[in-house]
Structure 1
């Protein structure tokens, strides 16, 4: 049984910020400094929630997880493998499906809340 103390309240946590640059294999343009603050990870490690930020640049994406995004700041362009694109700005909320491939371009500093679910594949 869970209780009120089991609720994860982000505003009262001091979650570490991990800053990094993308690998050469993913990077297309720029050298954006990115950071992630993963506020919650489920015990099974399939569900994560946090805040991600990036400076301008573009890179290849290949989603194995479902990701809900709530853009808090900035502008990005997400392009699929067929070249169709979606521009997302502060206030936009959307889900990227598992299996999505393409590119992500940060036009100006982007900050988002993410909620990710990684479905485990059944082993036979």
Structure 2
């Protein structure tokens, strides 16, 4: 299983190039739950802190506000939301419907930013 990658404090230029401000958001209260990624998910953490423990026994990964995280397609693990959590996210390279919905939400957000 490919590992999660975490980049702490990416530059504003990089975030702008990725279009992060147009990505939809997701939030979760403090909790623990299993998850399987059916796409590659790109996430920019806005608030909170989480620990993701891979199902395959590899080391847990911690990420927090200000981190850019890539969850690889097929990754299975357990989320442990340590502090109330909020992220921007984008899906790619995986489940067609989930990726399509992500692209539609991003397009809507871009249009809203242009036309108010």
- State if a TM-score over 0.5 links the two structures: yes
CA distance in 2, matches of 1:118, 1:59: 23
Runs of 4 or more, structure 1, over 2 Å off, are 118-121
Give the TM-score normalised by the residue count of structure 2: 0.59
Unaligned runs of 5+ in 2: 1-20, 97-116
Give the count of matched residue pairs: 77
Distance 1:119 1:64 in 2: 6
- Match in the other structure for 1:68: 42
* 112-121 or 67-76: bigger deviation: 112-121
Indicate the RMSD between aligned Cα atoms, in angstroms.
2.4
Q: Which has the higher contact order (CA 8 A, sep 6+)?
A: 2
Which residue in the other structure is 1:98 paired with?
A: 73
Unaligned stretches of 5+ residues in structure 1 = 1-10, 12-38, 40-48
Between structures 1 and 2, the one with greater strand share? 1
- Taking structure 1 as the reference length, what is the TM-score of the superposition? 0.56
Q: Label 1:120 to 1:67 Cα distance change in 2 as closer, same or farther (>3 A).
A: closer
CA shift digits 1:61-112 (9 cap, x unpaired): 1111110010011100011012320110110101101010011110010000
